[in-house]
Every structure is written in C-alpha cells, then in structure tokens.
Amino acid sequence: MIQDILSRRAVLISGATLLAASPLRTFAQSGGPSIHVLKDPNCGCCSAWIVLLEGDGFLVTTEASAGTLLMRYKSENGIPQDMVSCHTGRVEGYMIEGHVPAADIRRLLEERPDAVGLAVPGMPYGSPGMGPESEREAYDVFLIRRDGGTEVFTSYGSARPRRPPSEL
C-alpha cells in the first residue's frame, strides 16, 4: 500500500513538473499584449508604470536608454516634442509615450486607428506610476496622428476634492 501511495505521488509530481515546463504553460502566460519599453534605468516612476502594466496582463520587456538616444528614438518614431514624457513603449506597432493607463492601451489595440500611438505628456500626478489615483490631477491621453497632429483620446478629471471657497 505504501508503494501505491508513493507511486501515485511520484506520478502526480512528475505530471505537475511536466505541466510547469510545458509549452502550454508558456502559451497561457503569454496571453497579454507584449510591450517593449525604453526607459532610464534609474527612473522609479517608469518602473512603477511597468509594474502596473504587468499587473494588467501585459508582457513587458525593458531596455535602458536615456538622454539624446532616448529623445532620438522618440523623434524617429513620430512622438512630437510637445507630447514627450519619460519613457516610451512599443506595442503591436503603436508607440506609447509616458504614463498611459493600461485601459487606454487596450482600447487603442481594439480600435486600431491609423495613428502613431498614445501619449500622456509630462508626468501628471496620479497618472499610472505617478502617485495615488485618489489624488490625481486632471490630465488627457492624446492620440498621435500620423501627420503629427494630436487629439484627445481620453480625459481624466481631477480626483482631488474641491475645497469650499471659505478654505481658499
């Protein structure tokens, strides 16, 4: 009887080991969009944004870049100067500039507009990776058109409570 239990246990452990190493497991884990991000290796907000994307199912790879090289990459890939932020990603042929929420990236991938991609210029407080959303300042996510023009893709209002006039 002990040999039967050991044999069953060995079979179960072997099966679990095979499943863990199988291509099916890799396939199941690779269900989300893959995004490649160029960022300054010392930037904490970039890393925080990446963690949020990974938590939303994105498969993120990163590449260290900074200064002139990163700015050249942005420019060569159609990011206008007034749309620049700290990090730049590429997902399924689209550029993602700055602290763009995962939901907007998913919407972009669903709608597939003829565009360069999305941008959140600057580093607005409360945008993904830039502090608590509960204290978010108002900001816009812009769609960058192929001609270099932009239009608002999504607007996020301020989450900060309004102070009564008596407190101003």
**pLDDT tens digits, 2-34:** 455 444 444 333 333 333 333 433 333 456 899
Three-class SS state of 29? helix
Residues 11 and 69 in one domain: no
Residues 6 or more apart whose Cβ sits within 8 Å of residue 134: 126, 159
Q: Are residues 66 and 122 in the same domain?
A: yes
Task: Specify whether the CB–CB gap between 119 and 99 falls below 8 A.
Answer: no
Q: Rounded mean pLDDT of 84-100?
A: 96
13 and 75 both lie in a single domain: no
Does 26 share its domain with 36?
no
Tell me the average pLDDT across 45-57: 93
CA dist., res. 6 & res. 12, Å (int):
10
Q: Are residues 90 and 37 in the same domain?
A: yes
Task: Mark whether 84 and 140 lie in a shared domain.
Answer: yes
163: DSSP letter: P
Q: What pLDDT score does 122 carry?
A: 92
pLDDT of residue 167: 57
One domain for residues 42 and 88: yes
Crossing angle of helices 44-55/102-111, nearest 10°?
Answer: 60
Residues 82 and 160 in one domain: yes
pTM above 0.85, yes or no: no
**Confidence (pLDDT) at 40:** 87
Percent of the residues in the chain that have a pLDDT greater than 70, as a whole number = 77
pLDDT at 162: 64
Question: How high is the pLDDT of residue 11?
Answer: 37
Range of the domain at 125: 32-167
114-147 pLDDT, tens digit each: 999 999 999 999 999 999 989 999 999 999 999 9
3-state DSSP assignment of residue 130: coil
Whole-number pLDDT of residue 108: 98
Number of domains in the chain: 2
CA distance to 1, 7, 9, 42, per residue, from 4 (Å) = 5, 5, 8, 55
At 160, list the tokens.
């900060």
- What whole-number distance in Å separates Cα of residue 147 and Cα of residue 115? 9
Does residue 64 sit in the same domain as residue 134? yes
If asked whether residues 71 and 16 sit together in one domain, one would say no
91: left (phi over 0), alpha (psi -120 to 50) or beta: beta
